[in-house]
Structures are given as C-alpha cells and as structure tokens.
Amino acid sequence: MAMSAPRTLFEKVWDDHVVADLGDGFSLLHVDRHLLHDGAGPGLARVKDRGYTIARPDLTFATADHVISTARGRPPTSQSRTRALTALRDGTADAGIPMFDIGSGAQGIVHVIGPELGLTFPGALVVCADSHTCTHGALGAIGFGIGASELEHVLATQTIVQQRRRIMRISYRGECSPGVSAKDIILATVGAIGTAGGSGYAIEYAGAPIRRLEIEERLTLCNLSIELGAKIGMIAPDEKTFAYLEGRRFMPAGKAWDAAVAFWSNLCSDDGAVFDREETIDLSDLSPQVTYGTSPAQTIGIGGVIPRPNDIEDAKARAAIEAALSYMGLEGGEPILGVPVDWVFIGSCTNGRLSDLRIAAAVAKGRHVATHVNAWVVPGSETVQRAAEAEGLDTIFKAAGFAWREPGCSMCLAANGEVVPPGARCISTSNRNFVGRQGQGARTHLASPASAAAAAIAGYIVDHRTLDA
C-alpha cells in the first residue's frame, strides 16, 4: 500500500465527510449534527412549504436560547419572540426532531449543550445557523455557522455545499502566568492577528499551552475563531477530550466507545502536514485582556493604556479608533484600569460553563457588588445551572449581590430584549463588542469571567489578580 500524504486535522475530518466532489474546491459534505436554535422555526416551515421533507431528524437537535427571557418564570417579552419559540416547537414536533426545551433539564445555549450532551464529538461535522458554531472545534470537530438558506438545505438533504478552506496553524508557546485564562489568550490572539486575519481559513490551535487547557477552556478559545474572521477553529482531540466525553448522554459505551476512541486517536495533523499559514504566539508575558473599542481586536493588557489616535499614522485606522473611542466614551492615552462600569454580564457560549462560574464565584465569595453596578450571572445551560447550584455557587453570587438567572444567550446579543441601556458601560464575558451589540448605545468591554467578576466588585475595571479583600 502506498504511503498516503501527510494530512492536517482539518483535512482528515473534511475528507471523512465528502459525499461528492463538486469541483473548484467545493464538496458536498455530510452533516453529522445540525443544531437548531429558536431562530430556526421559519426555516422548518419553509422546507415543508417548498415540498421537501426533513432528511434526518435523528441527526438534528434543537433548543431555545436566543429569544427566551432569562428571568425567573421565563416571561414572554414580545409577540414576535413568542411566535419564534412556538414555530420552533411546532416545527420540531412535526418533523420528529428532538428538542431540549425549557425545563427539560438539558436546555441551554446551543454551543454549551452540544459538547455537554456528547452531541458533538471529535471528527464530527457540526453546523448551526449561528457563527459561534466554531466552538465545537475544541473537541476536534469541524463546526461552522451557516445562514438561513443553508439551514434549509441541510434540513432537506443532511448535506452542505462548502468550499475547502485554507489552513492556518496558530502555535502557542510559553507558560501563562496565574490568572491568565483561555479568554485572555484568544483575545490577545485576535489583537495580534486581526478580525480579518483568519478570513478564508480553518484554524488549528496547537502547542503545549493548548494541550494544558481543559476542555471548557478550549471551548472558550475556539469560540472566538470567528472573531479572527475564521468560521472554523479546531484543536486535535486528546486524552482530556476523551475523558470529557466519556459517559455523556449521546456518547456510546463499552466496545462502541473503545472503537470511537481508537478512531479519534488518529485525528491529529500528521508530521509533515502542510499548512497554508503558520503563526506563533508566546504567552509568557500575557496579562489579563480587556477590550477598549468596538472590535474584539481592540484589546489591551489590564495594565495597558488606551491607544492615542494621534499616534496612528494611517488616516483610515486613526479614524476607526477615533470613532470607537467616541462611541465608548474613552480618551486615548488613559489607562483602562479604573474605568467605571455600570453593568456586568457573566455568561454566553464563550464563558457560561461551570468552570467559568466557579472562577467568577471564587472572586465574588465574601465580597459585594459595588452599589451602582447591575451584575448578572447567566448559566450557559440547565445542566450548568444545576451543577452550579449543587455546589452552592448561586448562593455565593446572590450573597454578593449578583443576579442569578435562567440559562440562555441573554445580554450577549440582546436578541431577547435583555439590553444594556444606551450609554451604559458593561464588562462582559461574551464575544462581541460591536456597536449596539448589547443594546443601542451600549458600551461593551470584553474580558474573562475573573476580570468581569472583579469589576463588578470594584465598580470599575480592575486587575482581578490584585483585587482588595
């Protein structure tokens, strides 16, 4: 048998899903998992109206996360949002698609519940009409966001037409200092490579620091791949991945599990595999990151100074920074430390998992939220919520003055009407600080759970590593 050419992780997973080569770099790919959220109702109805049937309801899974209230009792917030939720319930029931509905014990943000239920796994091809589907790459899957039209195509065919990506490897080296998290690593990466640096690429994150990350940290890292412009970000599975998945609801057991692990153990980039682009990032001097502008690339270390527009030569780049600082109500040349915050949001598909809440609770324990601050903790799923309550994290948060809410996307994108008021400043563990993202005129600083919790206590942006007792 001839030696096959060395392949990257991405190529191996891609090749395993090719139903047909369509030429010009395009393939018709089999979809292992199609995840639906509460925006999918119209797509389900349209597929039916167009005379098609749902090809594989057994490979399609739904939950509600975007439009639902995270207030206790889940009160309706608008007629159109209620209609969206009803359309999802009706459409999935009609097609026989399993739905993890509110109160099922498994509802949550689609990118939290996928890994948590063992729905997504190494070598899977996962799609969802949400750009943060790249999150699932942390398990060694190809996960990417699709649009509403592609959603209909996947529903009707269980396949998707895609153009192969170029492949970029980002290799990390050095040891992170204590208190520097996966969120800080990926924000710094976006800062270094830029929000379009990954356009057209699938990214593989590699190196010893990646191997040291726990799975939930890897999920945080891969979640921001789209903020690099890359719709796919992946990490080769390893023993930590297998240990994380073993025993989860949709994972096999016994011999079937052993066979899966044996297969997954080959899912890594071969020695000599060719990458279209290589980047190396040293983490030795990295400090906790916080964004100051309206792009995730506009990030600085917690001890850093907001850039002065006048120091930027390129007129267009200068104008962009000026506009960002004007929106954010900040001055170039000022330190980011000490900037007062009005709102704190801990949650989202980036940082709404149990380990994130443990870190935030450790900061909150025995302290109290500053009097002028509204601080929310929104668990990523009912599973996370239950586990957190079992360890008493909710008690710690509530005693410290945080609101402990029901699972959902909430204030990350404000699709459910939970907004940061105009002009108010929020430190958020989510993924986007775009203009108007958390509400019209809302000012967002992206940061880690520890940094967000510390800011809630202090009332201003602070280095969580040196927070006063």
Partner 1 sequence: MPQPFTTIRSIALPLMRDNIDTDLIIRVERLFGAVPRDELGQYAFEAIRKRADGSLDPDCALNDERYFGANILLAGKNFGCGSAREGAVWAIAGMGIRAILAPSFGDIFVTNCYQNSLLPVVLPQARVDAMAASASGLPGAHEIVVDLESQTVIGSDGVVDSFSIPALRRRALLDGLEDIALTLKRADEIAAFHEHDARARPWAYPKRM
For partner 1, the binding residues in 245-304 under the rule CB under 8 A are 250-252, 256-257, 259-260, 263, 295
Closest distance to partner 1 from the beta carbon of 220 (Å): 18
State yes or no: residue 28 binds partner 1 (CB under 8 A): yes
State yes or no: residue 67 binds partner 1 (CB under 8 A): yes
Choice from 34, 432, 443, 464 touching partner 1 (CB under 8 A): 432
Choice from 5, 20, 208, 243 touching partner 1 (CB under 8 A): 20
CA distances from 162 to 59, 120, 150, 238, 413 (A): 19, 20, 10, 27, 27
State yes or no: residue 124 binds partner 1 (CB under 8 A): yes
Closest distance to partner 1 from the beta carbon of 316 (Å): 7
The identity of residue 146, as a single letter, is I
State yes or no: residue 98 binds partner 1 (CB under 8 A): yes
Contact 142, 14 (CB under 8 A): yes
Contact 143, 133 (CB under 8 A): yes
State yes or no: residue 50 binds partner 1 (CB under 8 A): yes
Closest distance to partner 1 from the beta carbon of 342 (Å): 17
State yes or no: residue 415 binds partner 1 (CB under 8 A): yes
Contact 37, 63 (CB under 8 A): yes
Please give the Cα distance from 294 to 190 (Å, whole number). Answer: 13
Total site size for partner 1, rule CB under 8 A: 81
Choice between 304 and 441, CB closer to partner 1: 441
Choice between 123 and 449, CB closer to partner 1: 123
**Beta pairing, strands 166-173 & 201-206:** parallel
Please give the Cα distance from 228 to 94 (Å, whole number). Answer: 38
* Length reported for the chain: 469
Choice from 34, 35, 38, 44 touching partner 1 (CB under 8 A): 38
Bridge partner list, 206: 171
Residues 135-154 close enough to bind partner 1 by CB under 8 A = 144-150, 152-153
- Reading the block at residue 412, the tokens are 């990350």
- Reading the block at residue 4, the tokens are 């096959």
Residues 153-212 close enough to bind partner 1 by CB under 8 A = 153, 156-159, 161, 163, 195-196, 199-200
* DSSP secondary structure, 380-400, as one string: SBHHHHHHHHHTTHHHHHHHT
CA distances from 422 to 323, 342, 407, 436, 440 (A): 17, 11, 24, 9, 6
State yes or no: residue 81 binds partner 1 (CB under 8 A): yes
Contact 293, 324 (CB under 8 A): yes
State yes or no: residue 316 binds partner 1 (CB under 8 A): yes
Choice from 7, 136, 231, 443 touching partner 1 (CB under 8 A): 231
Choice from 8, 63, 107, 131 touching partner 1 (CB under 8 A): 131
